[in-house]
Chain A
Amino acid sequence: IQMTQSPSSLSASVGDRVTITCRANHSISTYLNWYQQKPGKAPKPLIYGATSLQSGVSSRFSGGGSGTDFTLTIDSLQPDDVATYYCQQGYSSPLVTFGPGTKLEIK
């Protein structure tokens, strides 16, 4: 299963609402996870099962979608949100695949 993400990069202002899209080339139901990777750090899980927030993650993050199209939305963008965001399909677990990533910067 191949995953794509758009945009590949984006720049937004503090306080903005940002949406990142992830698409699978086959239906994966809601077997979709999101991760945040800050520069020089290991990835951190944000969302599992397309919509469920991981424990300890800010409620400014939310996930949506099912089938082939998914979104990660960040409300009220903060400087600490600068990172690369990856989606990961779990439909073919354990043979999982990641999207290519979306690099988020602050204007």
Chain B
Amino acid sequence: EVQLVESGGGLVRPGGSLRLSCAASGVTVGDNYMSWLRQAPGKGLEWVSIIYKGGRTFYADSVKGRFTISRDTSKNSLHVQMNSLRADDTAVYYCARGRLVEGLLWFDPWGQGTLVTVSS
């Protein structure tokens, strides 16, 4: 069974930084497309970033230049370094495995999420 467990969320001031982690079991992070998505309180879903099997990375325009996705294959974990945080980055952040089939990407499964609150 694939299990993804996020950690590292919390309260941070605007302009601050935070690093989220996702511990994976039942799936090898380095052999999969791994992604971060988020959901602001009471709002919809937003894709944030993805790292491909080969290491290529992509970002949503809203976080480009501020967030960096990475993985640690020795610990089978996924990370995202979030800098220059803003109030509109407040959200539950989910780690998810991406499934890319014939050019179509979807996310399965998702972790339980970790809440990031950006506030002074």
Contact = CB atoms under 8 A, between A and B. Distances in A.
B105 A90 contact: yes
B110 A93 contact: no
Interface residues of A, number: 24
Interface stretch (B12-20, B80-88, B96-104): B96-104
A39 B45 CA distance: 14
A43 B92 CA distance: 12
B47 A95 contact: yes
Interface string B23-43: 000000000010100000000
Given A42-B113, A93-B103, A99 B44 contact: yes
Contacts of B106: 33, 45, 48, 88, 90
Contact of A42 (B47, B58, B110): B110
Interface of B: 33, 35, 44-47, 50, 52, 58, 60, 94, 98-101, 103-113
* Closest 4 A/B residue pairs (Cβ): A93-B105, A42-B110, A90-B104, A33-B106
Interface of A: 31, 33, 35, 37, 41-45, 48-49, 54, 86, 88, 90, 93-101
